[in-house]
Structure 1
Amino acid sequence: MDTKVTSSEHYGSQFDLDIGELVEPNRIHRRVITDPDVFELEMDRIFGRSWIYVGHESQIPQRGDYFTTQVGRQPVVMTRHENGQIYVLENRCPHKGALVCPDRNGNAKRFMCMYHGWRFDGDGSLVSVPVHSGYDETGFDARDPKNGMRQLPRIHNHKGFIFASLTADGPDFDSWAGEGLRGLNNVIDRAPTGELEVVGDCYRTIQNNNWKIFVDNMSDGMHTSFVHHQMARAAQHTLEKFKGQARPGGLDVAAQLAGEPDQMAKVDLVAHPHGHFDMAAFAPDLQGADAELYRTSIVARHGEERANAVLERNFHNVLMFPTIIMQASLQQMRVIRPLSVDKTMLEIWVFRFKGVPESFSRRAVMAGNFANSPSNVVAADDFEAYFRVHAGLKGPQSEWISLHREANRDLPVGASLRGLTGNSEVCMRNMYKAWRDYMTAK
């Protein structure tokens, strides 16, 4: 595959851009972030080929339920057919291309395109075409179910989490996910019944920055002492009012962010093949009477030894590159939807563990409000930092972005890499290596 593209970003002139030269072992060129032509290639070569998160099966619990979203640039609809099977379909009518399902979600035994009345089953197959005789002897069979809404070539249900790919070839899901699944699996293992469910709708925010700036930040512990210092101090003072009582969700995590720049050095950072990573949790796990009841339920499911292993391995951020970041310790998941080179939509979903005390679910919802609602006091700090990074990189003199922190000190763990400390930029270096591999693949 040709890895050169024509770009018009540099002083308004045309030049040949070799994607492979934009990523070096310990730094990346600013055009990885700011070049609109690079962004267009990403949408084709990464979001158009990789495994992309679609949704969770709990969002379509009943037969006939559907949920609409995007896979890369492609609008899709995730459906639960009358036979109980889950499908992911292109959300377009094969006639003129109109969106068939414009709503975010709903329930329908059949889908009908509002433009010309074509009707489709829950698996996308064509049910009927008005005045189908008009297609006689035209080469189009208006009675053939195969001429319906197309199913995506590949779909995988990983314990309720639905992923799909727009291409029929490429690594299978397990090969792509690899060790990156350990964080997601840990979240699922923490549910007493092995089942999670989405709580309500999500928070949606638009960031005025490239999507990769956000992903970088999810493994960057050092920024917390600066970006979140005032917020964290306020959280610490608030926590003092709850001594011996149940505390609002998210405060424990927020209060940990007011320390020195090396406060996150003890946190494990592990980078996995294909750009995935995980960051260990840095706040104490749940405590109190409900926590004991919860632990008893986990032991009942897994047995004592396995339960101890599950509960001892707690994660704060888990990236399944390129689209989801699970905040396991807060029962939240962030879904990345790139809109343009400098705009990114972020969806934040809260999950409930089935079979846990209600206080756990309340804590998760409160943490979601605290960190992600329109009046939040956490993400607003980050968004300003992301904006400033992107704004600074627009200047053509800002050529290279440093990823040198603790470079050449990464510790091999099988096919993965552990940062020497939690301040390492190992996950960023690993992600951009995967980014380059995607962008230059033959």
Structure 2
Amino acid sequence: MDMPLPTRGRLDPAEMVQEGRVHRAAYVDPAIFEMEMDRIFGRAWLYLCHESQVATPGRFFATQMGREPVIVARGRDGVIRVMFNRCTHRGAKLTMDETGQAKRFVCCYHGWAFDLDGKLAEVPLPEGYGDGAYPPEDGSLDLVRVPRVENYRGFIFASLAAEGPTLAEFLGPVASSFDDMVDRAPGGLLEVAGGVSRHAYDGNWKLVIENHNDTLHPRFVHASSVAAARDQKDTVHSDGAGEVQIKQMRQNGAPAAVWESLGIWASASGHSFMGDYHTDAHMAARPAEDPVQMAYRKALEETHGVERTEEILSIQRFNTVVYPNLSFMSRFRQLRVVQPISVNRTVVTTYTFRMPLAPPEMFRDSIAFANVVNGVGSLVLTDDLETYARVQDGLASQGGDWVDVKRGMGGDANEANGTLRGQTGTSEIHLRAQFAAWRRWMTA
């Protein structure tokens, strides 16, 4: 039975998610946001980076786990470790660089130096600290390590909680999307390349991961861009990027029946993925008989054989969301990391992957696709960012306390792989799954 909630005062997360609806406070209440940082981002597995970003000893990558600054570093022994980005002397952050090469991490404040594995290696003027040995031999002043770190096929995750499900248990069926991305790379080789695209928007962090598998919005949010693409003459040619952009926007304007025929799956952990996509704009720019595609297929066959290559290329997987902070497109080699800043401010960073053993033209196509879909000047992202701001403003008003997520409810079907499949491609099953996971994290 639906229970009313107060519009003001402290809210109980256990009552904020009800059948087919979510209380707006989940998006606009600063106290709820603080709880999310503690109970979700402080316990769930969070994606940090790809192993190619720390490929050799001394390479490091600095990022955030919720509110916690951390350093991912590959030690001289080749082991990847995740440590808090905080000097154990007076607490200063050790690095402000997002990535780089280091022999040691040296604090800017008093010069304490830490090895790549986090061990305190040198303290200037150690005699000033009394009779005890500095650095102490018991490791009490070494950098504090994040309790759990795991690597799935090159993708590095960590959890601030010392106990909990393993990464494999957490990912569950959505691991197949990572498999799809890696298996599509000849030799299984992937590397982050081509720079970084980053943007911020004035809205709650949940809005972006809700939107990436929302298949109903493109025909409305992107209507003007779709119309412009339809008006563009096919005889007009660019350097290739324009063709990718035109095809992408035209497919967003596909008939409703096409979107309804898509497959959309969600898991108990709040993850979701979309498949059976009707048009592959990225690949459509290079048809099967194109020399680049022929060379790519040959490289895949050298890795997997003909039969397995056919199976890999037949997989229809588009957006995948790994709750709470990751969204990626395995076919297009695009990966987006979500970083909550406040209840109404979010940063999203996009990375593009290169397949070193694939034809170089494919990486160029990936960059073009990134600019079309994920770049701050793209026809797609700019529409979405405007929508997020409007949603956030609307939810902050007194126009109603509930957000409706009933589309497709009652038609979810159990799949053999442990997911639920939406009744249609525009089902809001992914929203219901995310908020079911949200409720568990927030009340456990």
Alignment TM-score, normalising by the size of structure 2: 0.92
Alpha-carbon distance in 1 for matches of 2:168, 2:175: 9
Is the contact between residue 269 and residue 418 of structure 1 (CA under 8 Å) also seen in structure 2?
A: yes
Cα offset, 1:309, TM superposition: 1.9
1:128 CA drift (Å): 1.1
How far the C-alpha of 1:311 sits from its partner, in A, is 1.1
How far 1:217 moved relative to its partner? 1.0
Return the offset for 1:229.
1.4
Corresponding residue of 1:370: 372
Question: C-alpha distance in 2, partners of 1:196/1:326?
Answer: 14
Q: How does 1:183-332 map to 2 (within 5 A)?
A: 183-238=177-232, 240-241=234-235, 248-280=243-275, 281-284=277-280, 285-286=283-284, 287=287, 288-332=290-334
Equivalent residue number for residue 344 of structure 1: 346
Residue 143 of structure 1 and its aligned partner are, at CA, apart by 4.5
CA contact (8 A) 2:268 2:419 kept: yes
Query: Unaligned stretches of 5+ in structure 2?
Result: none
Aligned equivalent of 1:31: 25
Deviations 1:223-261 (A, max 9, x none): 100111121232344471368995644443222012344
Q: Which amino acid aligns with 2:278?
A: F
Alignment partners' CA distance in 1, 2:179 and 2:245: 22
Instruction: Work out whether residues 314 and 328 of structure 1, in 8 Å CA contact, stay in contact via their aligned partners in 2.
Output: no
3-state DSSP of counterpart to 1:390: helix
The answer to whether structure 1 residue 400 and structure 2 residue 395 are counterparts is no
Q: What is the match of residue 420 of structure 2?
A: 417
CA distance in 2, matches of 1:96, 1:426: 47
CA offset at residue 338 of structure 1?
A: 0.4
Residue 216 of structure 1 deviates from its aligned partner by 1.2
Report Cα offsets for 1:117-162 as digits up to 9, x if no partner: 1000001111011222333356986344452111111111111111
Partner residue of 2:147?
Answer: 153
Partner residue, 2:429: 426
Counterpart code for 2:438? W
Measured in 1, the distance between the counterparts of 2:187 and 2:213 equals 30
Provide the secondary structure at the position in 2 that maps to 1:256. helix
Greater mean alpha carbon deviation, residues 141-150 or residues 417-426: 141-150
Alpha-carbon shift at residue 301 of structure 1 (Å):
1.5
Q: 1:263 to 1:384 in 2, by over 3 A?
A: farther
Which range moved further: 295-304 or 104-113? 295-304
Q: Name the counterpart of 1:129.
A: 123
Deviation at 1:73, TM superposition (A): 0.7
Question: For the aligned residues, what is the CA RMSD?
Answer: 2.1
Name the SS of the counterpart of 2:350 in structure 1. Answer: strand
Contact 2:122 2:135 in 1 (8 A): no
Deviation, 1:376, is 1.7
CA distance in 1, matches of 2:403, 2:410: 17
- SS at 1:16 equivalent: coil
**Structure 1 pair 25–304 and aligned structure 2 pair: CA distance change class (3 A):** farther
Pick from 150, 166, 169 the counterpart of residue 175 of structure 1: 169
Provide the C-alpha distance between the structure 2 equivalents of 1:234 and 1:263, rounded to a whole number of angstroms.
20
Q: Does 1:333 align with 2:328?
A: no
Identity %: 35
Please tell me whether the aligned partners of residues 258 and 278 of structure 2 are also in contact (alpha carbons under 8 angstroms). no
- Partner SS, residue 28 of structure 1: strand
Identify if the C-alpha distance between structure 1 residues 125 and 265 changes in structure 2 by more than 3 Å, giving closer, same or farther: same
Task: State which of 77, 81, 88 in structure 1 corresponds to 2:71.
Answer: 77
Q: Distance in 2 between matches of 1:347 and 1:246?
A: 25
Q: TM-score, normalised by structure 1?
A: 0.92
- Counterparts of 1:104 and 1:365 in 2: how far apart (Å)? 21
User: Residues 253 and 283 (structure 1 numbering): CA distance in 2 closer, same or farther, change over 3 Å?
Assistant: farther
1:96 to 55, 79, 90: 90
